[in-house]
Structure 1
Amino acid sequence: MRATLSSDGVWKPWNKILGMNDHKSNLLWQGAAYPLQGYTITPTKKLSECRNGWVLIFSDYDYGVGSNNFHWVQHRVHKGFLENHSMSGYYFVMQRAMSGLSTAITGKAMDFYDNKIVGGEYNDSDENGSRDVCLRYIYEW
């Protein structure tokens, strides 16, 4: 970890000066959502206001039971990409299961806006395995 002299004259790690280790204040949304087509998630901070963007954290989900605290997957959404491209139809591919012989993957489709995320089609499909994964947290990064 690199150290930097802060404005108060004390040497501190750079991430402490930027507040990037304060996980509670960097948490912008939490829940358990597929998200279904048309379902809207509104983080507490716009993408353009974040230092770099949003981190989406997914976990395992058992249909009809709920979310589980394992099989975590993280994806980053960089704010610079939104400035230069439409974020409609953004796809995430993620692992949903693994054994000694195979790995199962699935995907999620979402539309991104500066102030919200809207779920895409087939995010709760049994056929493509997307029911096995849900969005749990959004953090600033």
Structure 2
Amino acid sequence: VLRGIDMGVASFNMTEPDIETFMRDPFVMTSSDGSDGHPRLFATYPRKIRRYVLDKPVISMERMVASASGQVAATYGLADRGVLRAGAFADVLVFDPAEVREEATYTEPRKLASGMRWVFVNGRAAVANGTATNVMAGKALRRR
């Protein structure tokens, strides 16, 4: 913040071939830019599924899921996360591959993706039949 003014930068320095090369490396995990005003705040995962798994494909669906769940949890030492098994804090996303699309843009960065049917966070429906429920079951995680 500079004299009460929020500052931000959008960098467009990666090429599509670079992104595809990085994505294929086994150490690469999925994350979001996570900043207000950037479409990837809401569209990182649907974009990766649509563009790099279904349309091109650069990676498999299995690799996409692993790079966005179990691999992340293991890397950060988050016990009982990123796996589907009894006793784990599973977050589950059910989507229609034919319909999944990123919808967020720079002018509408908070626009929700299409094709997401159900989203369960800690076992509670955050999206039900494609509609947000306003249930806030998530919590910040800290590595111990």
- 1 or 2, which has the higher strand percentage? 1
TM-score, length basis structure 2: 0.30
Larger Rg: 1
TM-score, length basis structure 1: 0.31
- 1 or 2, which has the higher helix percentage? 2
